């Protein structure tokens, strides 16, 4: 999708602090972090959200990379939260499927606001 900000990040048209990348997904740090670690994992192909007939292989790829990214970000042992917001009422502000990895502090401490 030409005007989707996350598609532009995936195409490297917009700079991002990339944490992980493979053929299917891209993980990068959130520009408005809600905790010390706040990384987004997106499919490189545009899907608006979970209701957008996302192939099982893409969902599996998103989830499979979470432990790797948590390790890279240093929260694999201490713990982290994974969140997928679907739709505006759930707080999805970018209409491109994405998964949040949040950690680096006990939940509720040091968080800016709930995601």
Query: By residue range, what is the domain housing residue 22?
Result: 5-103
Backbone φ/ψ region at 86: left (φ over 0), alpha (ψ -120 to 50), beta:
beta
Report the pLDDT value the prediction gives residue 108, as an integer from 0 to 100: 75
- Is 36 inside a domain boundary? yes
- Is 111 inside a domain boundary? no
- Is 83 inside a domain boundary? yes
How large a percentage of the chain has pLDDT more than 70? 93
Q: How would you class 68 by CB atoms within 10 Å of its CB: exposed for 0-12, middle for 13-18, buried for 19 or more? A: middle
pLDDT above 70 (res 98): yes
CATH of the domain at 28: 3.30.428.10
First to last CA, the chain: 25
- Is 63 inside a domain boundary? yes
Give me the active site residues, please: 98
Report the pLDDT value the prediction gives residue 111, as an integer from 0 to 100: 59
Say how many domains are in the chain.
1
Distance CA 113, CA 25 (A): 26
- Is 108 inside a domain boundary? no
How much is the average pLDDT of 84-97? 91
- Is 82 inside a domain boundary? yes
């Amino acid at each position: 999708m030409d005007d989707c900000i996350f598609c532009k990040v995936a195409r490297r048209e917009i700079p991002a602090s990339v944490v992980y990348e493979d053929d299917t997904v891209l993980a990068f740090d959130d520009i408005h972090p809600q905790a010390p670690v706040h990384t987004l994992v997106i499919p490189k192909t545009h899907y608006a959200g979970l209701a957008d007939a996302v192939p099982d292989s893409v969902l599996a790829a998103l989830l499979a990379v979470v432990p790797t990214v948590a390790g890279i970000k240093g929260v694999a042992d201490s713990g982290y939260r994974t969140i997928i917001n679907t739709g505006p009422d759930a707080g999805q502000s970018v209409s491109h499927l994405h998964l949040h990895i949040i950690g680096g502090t006990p939940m509720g401490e040091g968080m800016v606001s709930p995601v």
